[in-house]
Structure 1
Amino acid sequence: MTTPDPAPHDSFDVVVYGGTLAGLMAAARAHRRGLRVCLLEPTGYLGGHIAGGLVMSDVPLEPSALRGLTDELFFGGIGAEYGSAEPVYDFEAKVAQRVSDRLAEASCARIERHVRLERGDVDVAGTTILGVRAGGEWIRGRFFIDASYQGDLMAFAGVPYTVGRESSATYGEPTAGFIPDRAFTVAGVHADGRYPLRGRPLSKPGDGDDKVQSYNFRCIVTQDPATRLPFPKPEGYDPGMYEIVRQVIELEKPATFFDVVQNQAVLPNGKIQTNNGLKTLSCDLPNESWEYPDATWRIRDDVVDRHVRWQQGLYHWLANDPAVPPHLRADAASWGLPADEFADSPYGAGWPHALYVREGRRMIGAYVLTEHDQNVPHDTKATSVCRWLYPRDCHGVQLYVDGDVLVCEGPITKIWIDPDNKVDQYQIPAEILFPAAGGVTNIAVPVCLSSSHIGYATTRLEPAFGMLGEACGELAALSIAHDRPVQDYDYAELAAHLTEYGSVL
């Protein structure tokens, strides 16, 4: 039913929800087709995770698979910031922010930040989205692209989706669902009530559930005395929360700060990208991500706050608490947050403004990408929009104690070297980007795309999202040019448009 429209409105050809890399690339493609684009971003920042701390880009193992405007404009733009004629893939967040802002300004007729869609904010008539409400105003459009990490536009428009892990039987994926035999474990740990542990699940191997992999902040740290800020003590800091970490440290005996938080990448100007480490228990907060995908913004904010308190507290605890071995504490204290990054972050100077939401909603679209589309030998797709090659990478889904054994269940990084489940270079078909026939006809979804949990584990990287965003921009242009549902696109025409700006199919 069409929503009454008493408020002022503005009309566009394409409305992009989510200023992520995917959203920026969708806007760039639509703009090059002569379309008027409006970009709506839920936060105050453009660039998504990649400008919000995820500055070590997980590029494909086959470099030639990363092409198109994603490589030329975004990573090439970052290279230009450093005086390089080549794209740069490990960089400072402030540089990614500048490039993101510049790309948005070049492609979008209007940019609105802090637009958080709620139920009732998406106007749909039949199978056509008419507009979205931004504050007190309706933004009308002919085509919509949900490039957000949350997928709210998609969900509120009535597009089918799922959250969590399918069972191994759903798509015949042997590593789907509950996988306790691949869990990371540490024996000799005693449960501590202050850490948000859950009880041992009653699931059987292969069972599905509604749980998603863990999130964290991808922090940047430095030892530069001119810019180093001591790790802050978060509000409500409770050193007792880290008793279970102390036990794991005692058992695993990490020697350095990066044995706990992982030296993920060396960035320009001596900065380091951190990530989850210590085998099971570090920057990630398993169990605390499950609420996020389908929640209200109020609950999502609470989930983010829990992650802020946990991870800021962990870094502060490592650098200051006498329970930490002296050599490890001294090494941690030599590092800090860079004052020249994230100066206006709501979580304090130097702290990333974006929680790394590794997985949320996933559309159930015209085609569902699964591990069968990615394994050796891979299945060649007749409607490819890009190529990709990356090992399956899923962080822990849940953390529990079984007797005196700490169990982190859900990671599938061990599959990287599993000869029976090896990812090949594969093609991604257009049909994972839009609803099935009979569904909404004027939407494309490059981030909360149509895949299984296992399929998503290799496709969920920012460079892939960028290329899929490009495909969504071209699908929008074709749908508008021919005045027909996105499902009725002509692949030969789509392929010609994609390759015109460098995509490799």
Structure 2
Amino acid sequence: MSSKVIEEPARRIPIYGEYEVAVLGGGPAGIAASVAAARAGRRTLLIERYGFLGGMGTAAGVTNFCGLHANVHGEMHSVVQGVATELLARIDRLGGLNAPHLVLGKILAQAYDTAAYKIAADDLLAAHKVDILFHALGAGVVMDDARNIGALAIETKSGRQAVRGNIFIDCSGDGDLAAWAGAPFEVGDGEGHMLYPSMMFRLNGIDPARAGEAWQTIPRLMAAAEAAGTHKFPRKAAIVRPQRSPVEWRVNFTQLARADGSAISGIVADDLTQGEIVGRRQAVEAFEFLRTVPGFEQAYIVDLPPQLGIRETRRVTGGYCLTGEDVLGCASFSDSIGVNGWPIEAHVAGDVIFKFPPIPQSRGYNELPYRMLVPEGIDNLLVAGRCASMTHEGQSAARVSGACFAMGEAAGAAAAQSLAAKTRPREISIDTLQLELTQRGAFIGRHQQVPTGL
């Protein structure tokens, strides 16, 4: 990258709009945050870089909700409710939701159709009167003072514009807004190592009868192919599972690294460029192997997503940092605003390593404290999603969509409460926030009865 610079002339930026709550990023956290703020009567804008919502779930082709469920003393329960329940019901009405399926014999995940997700999310936000601005990329902030954001700069096809807000919620996944505002953050495990990204893709044309439970046999076939020297795979623990239609399967087979073997960075443009190119190459190589699997002989790649699947970049430092010990120990917090039932899922070099709380001895979920949404140093900002305050290991679990829905809903409700009380988000009444969340159908742990059903 060149070290040369140019001087950008000062310019006057038109104000796109003035909002009480401005949310950057339309993934699970951003969807839930904007709905929660708007349903409380606050004028809310959701800003999204693509032309659709869903975050990594649609833009990176994940096509699979993780963390909606927990293994509670050996029984499966749906533990993420509230806004997430409304969204899933809409996806289901469109015929785009699979029944939950078992992962590693210990936890449930739930596949969906990406088109149904996009349509359902549009409908959900419209029902709650959330304003949306698509094709808008966050580009920086203008500070009112050292601790307060005055406006978010965005780049659009209409040129650079600015959004004024009373409270901002960073659901960008990368902690972009927080970093621009000067909030402290961490990257990686202390030595700069992040979770490895993947290039997801989907196949069509599978013969379901012949494929059967191919996800059970594919690991053995991979090992045999490597031993025979016909194929070499970037990682173990490949995931190949059917979608709503059994002729279509999702494939999570790739792992993207720099030349030195470390994970590519989702906040370095050159890394992202190479990751996209190498990711598509790895997808083709994986596809060529899968064509040798019974039932996949006539398969074809039906979708390569718009972007690489990024798991970890910045983690903003908040009032509490969720740890791996909290996940494995099923920690409780007096300021809990939701729960995470997903285990630690560490995407390390060449492999994916899962660590679960004790099963069936444990309740299988940790609570999520409100403090992890409140960044240090900035007074009118909340952070929700995979860039919230967590350690590298804690984020390996609570980065998934279930926990992101929970964090986002709490952040949106907290922003509305802060405005109503005319106080900073870090000073709101936790009791009032918890009461509102539970009355809206959310499960926050604490003394609530665990929801029944899937």
Normalising by structure 1, what TM-score? Answer: 0.71
Q: Which residue does the alignment assign to 1:334?
A: 298
2:32 corresponds to 1:22: no
- Within the candidate set 362, 367, 382, 1:444 is matched to 382
For the residues of structure 1 that align with 2:272 and 2:251, how far apart are their CA atoms? 23
In structure 2, the partner of 1:61 is: 70
Matched, 1:133 2:153: yes
Structure 1 residue 306 corresponds to structure 2 residue 277? yes
**Which consecutive residues of structure 2, in runs of 5 or more, have no partner in the other structure?**
1-9, 101-108, 208-221, 445-454
The equivalent of 1:490 in structure 2 is: 429
Alignment of 1:145-164 (within 5 A): 145-164=169-188
1:272 counterpart residue number: 249
Percent identity, aligned pairs only, is: 23
Q: CA deviation at 1:395?
A: 1.1
| Deviation for aligned residue 1:260 | 8.1
CA distance in 2, matches of 1:160, 1:467: 23
Q: In structure 2, what residue type is equivalent to 1:221?
A: L
Specify the SS of the correspondent of 1:373.
helix
Q: Distance in 1 between matches of 2:258 and 2:224?
A: 18
Q: Is the 8 A contact 2:197 2:311 kept in 1?
A: yes
Residues 266 and 272 in structure 1, CA contact (< 8 A), matched pair in contact too: yes
| Conserved 8 A contact 1:442-1:479 | no
| 2: CA distance, partners of 1:425 / 1:499 | 17
Q: Aligned letter for 1:446?
A: A
In the alignment, which residue of structure 2 is the partner of 1:285? 256
Equivalent residue for 2:120?
A: 99
Q: Deviations over 1:9-65 (max 9, x none)?
A: 410011110011110111111110011111111233311122232122223224545
Q: Secondary structure at the match of 1:390?
A: coil
Structure 1 unaligned blocks of 5 or more: 167-208, 226-245, 277-282, 320-326, 339-349, 399-407
Cα distance, 1:213 vs structure 2: 1.3
User: Quick one: distance in 2 between partners of 1:433 and 1:455?
Assistant: 14
**Partner Cα separation in structure 1 for residue 398 and residue 419 of structure 2:** 28
Q: Check the 8 A contact 1:48/1:354 in 2, yes or no.
A: no
Matched residue, 2:20: 13
Please show how residues 66-465 of structure 1 align to structure 2 within 5 Å.
Answer: 66-82=79-95, 89-107=110-128, 109-118=130-139, 120-135=140-155, 136-166=160-190, 209-223=191-205, 249-251=225-227, 262-270=238-246, 271-276=248-253, 283-287=254-258, 290-295=263-268, 298-299=269-270, 301-315=272-286, 317-318=288-289, 328=292, 333-338=297-302, 350-376=303-329, 378-396=330-348, 398=349, 408=350, 411-413=352-354, 415-416=355-356, 424-436=364-376, 439-447=377-385, 448-465=387-404
Letter of the 2:368 counterpart: I
RMSD: 3.4
TM superposition shift of 1:423: 8.8
Match of 1:404 in 2: none
Counterpart Cα distance in 1 of 2:402 and 2:32: 10
Rounded to whole Å, the distance in 2 between the matches of 1:8 and 1:252 is 62
* In 2, Cα distance between equivalents of 1:260 and 1:31: 43
- Partner of 1:268, secondary structure, is coil
TM superposition shift of 1:138 = 1.2
2:451 equivalent in structure 1:
none
Alignment CA distance shift 1:122-1:329 (3 Å): farther
Q: Is the alpha carbon distance of 1:300 and 1:107 closer, same or farther for their aligned partners in structure 2, counting shifts above 3 Å? A: farther
Structure with greater strand percent: 2
Please state whether the residue corresponding to 1:465 is helix, strand or coil: helix
Distance (whole Å) between structure 2 residues aligned to residue 337 and residue 85 of structure 1: 21
Residue 191 of structure 1 corresponds to which residue in structure 2? none
> How many angstroms apart in 1 are the aligned matches of 2:199 and 2:54?
15
**Secondary structure at 2:23's aligned position in 1?**
strand
User: In 1, distance between residues paired with 2:13 and 2:364?
Assistant: 53
Partner of 2:48: 41
The 3-state SS of whatever aligns with 2:189 is: coil
CA shift at 1:426, angstroms? 1.4
Which of 439, 443, 449 is residue 500 of structure 1 equivalent to?
Answer: 439
Q: CA deviation at 1:391?
A: 1.6
Q: Which residue of 2 aligns with 1:190?
A: none
- Give the CA deviation at 1:418: 7.9
For 2:300 and 2:335, locate their aligned partners in 1 and report how far apart those are by CA, in whole Å: 47
TM-score (structure 2 length as normaliser): 0.78
CA distance in 2, matches of 1:313, 1:385: 42
Q: How many residues in Structure 1 have an aligned counterpart in Structure 2?
A: 397
Whole-Å separation in 2 of the counterparts to 1:308 and 1:100? 28
Instruction: Note the C-alpha offset of 1:334.
Output: 2.1
CA separation in 1, counterparts of 2:78 and 2:388? 19
The 2-side partners of 1:48 and 1:83 are apart by 17
The structure-2 alpha-carbon separation of the partners of 1:435 and 1:86, relative to structure 1 and needing over 3 Å to count, comes to same
Q: Quick one: distance in 2 between partners of 1:484 and 1:422? A: 38
Q: What amino acid maps onto 1:126 in structure 2?
A: A
Residues 133 and 334 of structure 1: CA distance in aligned 2, closer, same or farther (over 3 Å)? same
In structure 2, how many angstroms separate the alpha carbons of the residues matched to 1:337 and 1:308? Answer: 14
Structure 2 residue aligned with 1:203: none
C-alpha distance in 2 between matches for 1:328 and 1:93? 27
What displacement does 1:372 show? 2.7
d(CA) in 1 for partners of 2:363, 2:265: 29
One-letter code of the match for 1:80?
A: R
Q: What SS is found at the alignment partner of 1:352?
A: coil
Aligned residue number for residue 106 of structure 2? none
